[in-house]
């Protein structure tokens, strides 16, 4: 069942159009990835979904409700959490304070249990719960940004270049965590990423973006097996 649907979405900044009719689907429980080089429109795609672009055409549906013109706050309340490029952690707050901010709009009594759950998955955060986020490594801040988004109990997690600026071993660890979260909880994810190998390894479905248009799409294993797509767009 489709959870997120982009239908011929167009958008950009001012007079500049970046997205040229994107159609993307993310099903319940699915990991979908959007691949492409810098400037392909990956970040703009996530911003369009989150209501962060001033000019968006086409249609965006989440859980069968149109959110094309909804505010960023309304989209977050509907169940979409966004982990931005560059992590976006509050560097002057502790790990624990960052995580509690992720649950700021929740009214249930499960925040403490969720803190324990994500501390268990990310033990480095548990060890540093009283440490200022700005004093942690890039990999630790990326884990914090993911855990903070999860504290809102989203139905869809958007991740913008989770490997950016991370060492290869840390990048693999982050992607292993994402795979585990999806497999254990069924949380749907839309990941935009330049590292095609790692991204497709955890994905069910993939889209390749070039200058704001989709040039290839399909099941992750199909994209990996297509030599023409690999050589032209995926770099391996």
Say whether pLDDT at 1 is over 80: yes
Report how far residue 82's alpha carbon sits from residue 102's, in angstroms, rounded to the nearest whole number: 11
Q: What are phi and psi of 25, to 5 degrees?
A: -125, 140
| Tokens 């990941």 found at | 191
Average pLDDT, rounded, for the chain: 94
Stretch 204-214: mean pLDDT, rounded?
96
Say whether pLDDT at 42 is over 90: yes
Edge-first strand order for the sheet with 16-27 is 16-27, 2-13, 55-62, 65-66
Segment 83-114, tens digit of pLDDT: 999 878 999 999 999 999 999 988 898 999 99
Segment 46-76, tens digit of pLDDT: 999 999 998 899 999 999 999 999 999 999 9
pLDDT category at 233 given cuts 50, 70, 90 is: confident
Q: What are phi and psi of 131, to 5 degrees?
A: -95, 145
Say whether pLDDT at 236 is over 80: no
pLDDT category at 229 given cuts 50, 70, 90 is: confident
Say whether pLDDT at 221 is over 90: yes
Q: Comparing 95-104, 117-126, 145-154, 163-172, which segment has the lowest mean pLDDT? A: 163-172
Segment 6-18, tens digit of pLDDT: 999 999 998 899 9
Domains, the chain, ordered by start: 2-79+154-234 (3.40.50.300), 91-153 (no CATH)
pLDDT of residue 136: 94
Closest CA to 25 of 16, 34, 13, 36: 34
Q: Where are the alpha helices (DSSP H) in 69-109?
A: 72-78, 95-102
């Amino acid at each position: 069942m489709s959870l997120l649907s982009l239908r011929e979405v167009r958008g950009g900044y001012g007079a500049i159009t970046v997205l040229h009719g994107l159609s993307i689907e993310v099903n319940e429980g699915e990991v979908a990835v959007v691949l492409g080089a810098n400037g392909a429109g990956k970040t703009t795609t996530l911003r369009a979904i989150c209501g962060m672009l001033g000019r968006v055409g086409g249609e965006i549906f989440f859980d069968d409700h149109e959110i094309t013109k909804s505010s960023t706050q309304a989209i977050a309340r509907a169940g979409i959490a966004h982990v931005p490029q560059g992590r976006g952690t509050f560097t002057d707050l502790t790990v624990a304070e960052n995580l509690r901010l992720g649950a700021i709009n929740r009214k249930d009594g499960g925040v403490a249990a969720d803190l324990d759950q994500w501390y268990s998955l990310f033990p480095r955060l548990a060890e540093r719960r009283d440490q200022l986020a700005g004093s942690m490594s890039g990999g630790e801040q990326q884990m914090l940004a993911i855990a903070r988004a999860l504290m809102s109990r989203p139905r869809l997690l958007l991740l913008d270049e989770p490997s950016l600026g991370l060492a290869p071993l840390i990048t693999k660890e982050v992607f292993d965590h994402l795979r585990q979260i999806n497999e254990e909880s069924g949380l749907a994810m839309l990941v935009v990423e330049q590292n095609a190998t790692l991204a497709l390894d955890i994905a069910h479905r993939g889209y390749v973006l070039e200058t704001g248009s989709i040039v290839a799409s399909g099941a992750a294993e199909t994209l990996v097996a297509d030599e023409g797509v690999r050589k032209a767009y995926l770099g391996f």
